[in-house]
Amino acid sequence: MFFKKVCPERAPCRITCVAPGAWDKLILLYYDNDIRNTITACIERYWSNGIQDESDVESLGQRLHKYKLFGNPWFASDKESTEARNLLHKIINKMSMIGWKFHATVNIKGGTDTMFFMKTPHQVSNPLMFFLFLIFK
């Protein structure tokens, strides 16, 4: 991922990563309790199949929080597919409400996209967003 600088220097900021993975996982990197609680609440409210397991793991010296969900949200079809996309939309929306701006999404491994959020001092919440999902069969 490359970014072109188009504005003056900004204050240092924090970055967090929310990464759907495999068929049924959601992984948090560079998170705090506020982020984890927000993501947990989103899953519990917007993914009707629920959470099968949660664990904290360490990989390459980094602390990760891993959710294993019931079902296959990232390779779902029909109602489950719509619910999975709505879950991602709600995660982005709720992260905005706690001061984390959706910054980029990147397809790193050719599977599901990884979402990056940025928190800067005096971040203004913007819960009004529009998403368009195109599904080709």
Domains of the chain: 14-119 (3.30.70)
- Say if CB 39 and CB 27 are below 8 A apart: no
Counts of helices then strands in the chain (DSSP H, E): 2, 6
Q: Which residue, 80, 115, 118, is CA-closest to 98? A: 118
Q: What are the pLDDT digits (tens) for 75-92?
A: 888 888 899 999 999 999
Residue 110 burial (10 A CB sphere; 0-12, 13-18, 19+): exposed
pLDDT band at 10 (very low <50, low <70, confident <90, very high): low
Task: Supply the pTM of this predicted model.
Answer: 0.80
Residue 134 pLDDT greater than 70, yes or no:
no
User: At residue 129, does pLDDT exceed 80?
Assistant: no
Least confident of 2-16, 47-61, 91-105, 118-132: 118-132
Residue pLDDT, tens place only, 29-63: 999 999 999 999 999 999 999 999 999 999 889 99
